Amino acid sequence: MKIELINVSKIYKNDVKAVSDVNVTIESGEFFVLLGPSGCGKSTLLRMIAGLEDITEGILKMDGMVANNLDPSERNLSMVFQNYALYPHLTVEENILFGLYKKKNMSKTEKIKKCKDVAEMMGLEQYLKRKPRELSGGQRQRVALARAVVSEDPVCLMDEPLSNLDAKLRTNMRKEIKQLQKRLGITMIYVTHDQVEAMTMGDKIMVLRNGRVQQIGKPLEIYNSPSNTFVASFIGAPPMNLIPGCIENGEIILDGGHRLGSLRFQQKRSIQEIIVGIRPEHLNITDVNNRCSINFNFSVKYKEILGTETIITVELGRQEMFIRCNGQVDIPIGKEVGISVETDKICIFDKETGMLINQLSDYLNDVKMISS
Ligand SMILES: Nc1ncnc2c1ncn2[C@@H]1O[C@H](COP(=O)(O)OP(=O)(O)OP(=O)(O)O)[C@@H](O)[C@H]1O
Ligand SMILES: [Mg+2]
């Protein structure tokens, strides 16, 4: 089922504007992630789609039909809540059967057969007679999922369904949910504040901040070309390095005086004050005397050797900068190192608005390269 939101806003009774003017189309069969920090309006938006919350302004369409005033039970969707919301006094089987309460025409035997099938698919056959309290967190989560998918509704809404699980279980459940969604071909709207979940599960991501859409796009589009500094720092861990600087005579100069070396570009716009965004993996540690085009010297302030990679922190003025190195890089704290920048990957943001001006790689075609 295709879902469209047209200029949708939500103002709560206490005048809190939780969602502002959201426009988006969620295609049928898409895994769509709503991503943003706590309080940005994710649950509000999801609850408006579910019909659990009135839409203050704007239009919700489901398969082209206006659905603003449809009763939740008429919307053909299932929902999984953050706290699972299982009935504690019912068994696993009864909880799953609850997902079929709308199916008035289905016989009891048919319902039980469906429940068995889904339980098998979710690896829950041996727990059908247990109560939720006799299950682990991951098993309870699977019951909540089973109850949602048993209905075979074309849309499934999930609100932070994995937040109560430990790291390993989350990784497994991420895969399970994604596979289940593809197998059933349903439209998924999935709320999370976890950027890893968003990146790994989403066909598309919508980033929200203070109820406003910041960017809608495929995970890698958002990662590579964040529309503003908020998105840039929200996606990626450690986040993109955001370093204030300016453009002077077509040359980028970071605050503190570091020049982005031989790289110059013709100034086509009047923007002077900028923020330079560099992902940690686009910085490389070099010898102090390395003669590559853009090379700064810093001393190592902190290091995290994680096994497959090492995160080195250096100080640039009062600001920290993260560098992601492959493998185990054991550099003593305080040691002077050189850092080279993959300049074609950097992002330039307008300092005043925080908006992406352009990626430098887009400039390179009509850029005048002058070696210093
Ligand atoms: N029933 C309500 N009445 C008034 N204000 C509310 C209500 N529910 C939520 N809000 C406010 O609306 C804003 C958005 O809340 P919402 O629950 O949608 O955020 P969220 O993105 O889901 O956050 P979290 O990640 O913490 O769950 C918040 O400022 C919140 O305080
Ligand atoms: Mg929420």
Query: Does pLDDT of 365 surpass 60?
Result: no
Last residue of a domain, one of 233, 253, 282: 233
- Percent of all residues in the chain with a pLDDT value above 90, rounded to a whole number: 61
Question: Which ligand is in closest contact with the Cα of 17?
Answer: 1
* Ligand 1 lined by 249 (C-beta under 6 Å): no
The answer to whether 324 touches 237, Cβ cutoff 8 Å, is no
To which residue do tokens 């493998």 refer? 327
* Ligand 1 lined by 35 (C-beta under 6 Å): no
The CATH number of the domain holding residue 350 is 2.40.50.140
CA of residue 29 to ligand 2 center, whole Å: 23
- 370 pLDDT tier (thresholds 50, 70, 90): very low
Residue closest by Cα to atom 13 of ligand 1: 18
- 269 pLDDT tier (thresholds 50, 70, 90): low
What confidence score (pLDDT) does residue 200 get? Answer: 95
Q: What is the mean pLDDT of residues 176-193?
A: 93
What confidence score (pLDDT) does residue 268 get? Answer: 56
What confidence score (pLDDT) does residue 367 get? Answer: 38
Residue closest by Cα to atom 29 of ligand 1: 39
Tell me: do 259 and 224 sit in the same domain. no
Last residue of a domain, one of 208, 233, 258: 233
Which residues are registered as beta bridge partners of 259? 253
The CATH number of the domain holding residue 165 is 3.40.50.300
What confidence score (pLDDT) does residue 121 get? Answer: 82
What confidence score (pLDDT) does residue 50 get? Answer: 95
* Average pLDDT for the chain: 88
The answer to whether 255 touches 245, Cβ cutoff 8 Å, is yes
Question: Which ligand is in closest contact with the Cα of 19?
Answer: 1
Q: What is the mean pLDDT of residues 313-333?
A: 89
Q: What tens digit of pLDDT does each residue of 195-217 get?
A: 999 999 999 999 999 999 999 99
The answer to whether 25 touches 2, Cβ cutoff 8 Å, is yes
To which residue do tokens 């075609």 refer? 365
**Inside any domain, residue 371:** no
- Reported for 121-128, long-range contacts at CB under 8 A and 24+ positions apart, including other chains, are 121/146, 121/180, 122/146, 122/176, 124/92, 124/96, 127/92, 128/91, 128/92, 128/93
> Is the omega angle on the peptide bond into residue 226 within 30 degrees of 0, that is, cis?
no
CA distances from 44 to 19, 192, 214 (A): 7, 13, 17
207 Cβ neighbours under 8 A, 6+ residues apart = 35, 36, 213, 214, 215, 216, 222, 230, 231, 234, 235
